[in-house]
Amino acid sequence: LPQRREQHILNFMYKVIRNQVPSYVSSIFEEFKNSATRRTSNTEVYQIPIRSTAQFIKSPIPNAISLWNKLPKPLLEYAFTFIDSAHCSCGKPETLKHLFFKCPLCQINRHALMEEVNNNFYNKISQLTNMDDKLNFLLYGDETLSLAELSKLLIII
């Protein structure tokens, strides 16, 4: 479970760095951007402030930055474009909707995920009536969520 959680966090950081997240999410990371970054000499795109409290360091945003910065330099420089197959292990096309809502191989994880989301965000998720809206909420939250709520959603996902 801890490895899967780290993988999800790293996938999220990849999307942040590639501007594949909503602006309200990327704006959270803007204040941690390393303005002196040159990809050839320094792979730390984001930096955690030196004078940070222990509680802040353990929170999701600095944790995500720290995990990203610990990746080996060759891995950070990899283009991440090669995919063996566009199909899930179950044989169906691997889409986000498939993984989050339909894949029979993910049923147990999906149930645990949705139970956790419902426990923490019932008022939000119960208002969403279609799969697209639910998927958008799971991936990006929404603009009404506080930073703490966005962080909590990131941890759950």
Q: Give residue 115's identity as a one-letter amino acid code.
A: E
Instruction: Report the domain count for the chain.
Output: 2
pLDDT tens digits, 47-73: 776 766 777 767 788 888 888 888 877
- The Cα 94–Cα 88 span in angstroms is 5
Number of H helices, E strands in the chain: 9, 0
64 burial level (CB within 10 Å; 0-12, 13-18, 19+): buried
Longest dimension (CA), the chain: 49
Residue 46 pLDDT more than 70? yes
Q: How confident is the model at residue 35 (pLDDT cuts 50, 70, 90)?
A: low
Per-residue pLDDT, averaged over 82-98, amounts to: 77
Per-residue pLDDT, averaged over 23-38, amounts to: 77
Whether residue 87 is contained in a domain is answered as no
User: Could you tell me if 25 and 69 lie in one domain?
Assistant: yes
Q: Give residue 92's identity as a one-letter amino acid code.
A: K
Whether residue 108 is contained in a domain is answered as yes
Range of the domain at 120: 96-156
- The Cα 119–Cα 156 span in angstroms is 11
pLDDT tens digits, 104-155: 998 999 999 999 999 999 888 889 889 999 999 988 888 888 888 888 888 8
Whether residue 117 is contained in a domain is answered as yes
Residue 93 pLDDT more than 90? no
Whether residue 82 is contained in a domain is answered as no
User: Could you tell me if 103 and 152 lie in one domain?
Assistant: yes
Higher-confidence residue: 98 or 40? 98
Whether residue 25 is contained in a domain is answered as yes
C-alpha to C-alpha distances, 16 to 1, 25, 107, nearest whole angstrom: 23, 8, 28
Backbone φ and ψ for 63, nearest 5 degrees, come out as: -60, -45
- The Cα 2–Cα 100 span in angstroms is 19
User: Could you tell me if 7 and 48 lie in one domain?
Assistant: yes
C-alpha to C-alpha distances, 44 to 69, 70, 132, nearest whole angstrom: 5, 9, 34
Residue 39 pLDDT more than 50? no
pLDDT tens digits, 21-30: 888 888 888 8
User: Could you tell me if 128 and 69 lie in one domain?
Assistant: no
Query: pTM to 2 decimals?
Result: 0.47
User: Could you tell me if 101 and 144 lie in one domain?
Assistant: yes
User: Could you tell me if 62 and 118 lie in one domain?
Assistant: no
User: Could you tell me if 31 and 71 lie in one domain?
Assistant: yes
Q: How confident is the model at residue 80 (pLDDT cuts 50, 70, 90)?
A: low
Whether residue 85 is contained in a domain is answered as no
User: Could you tell me if 10 and 63 lie in one domain?
Assistant: yes
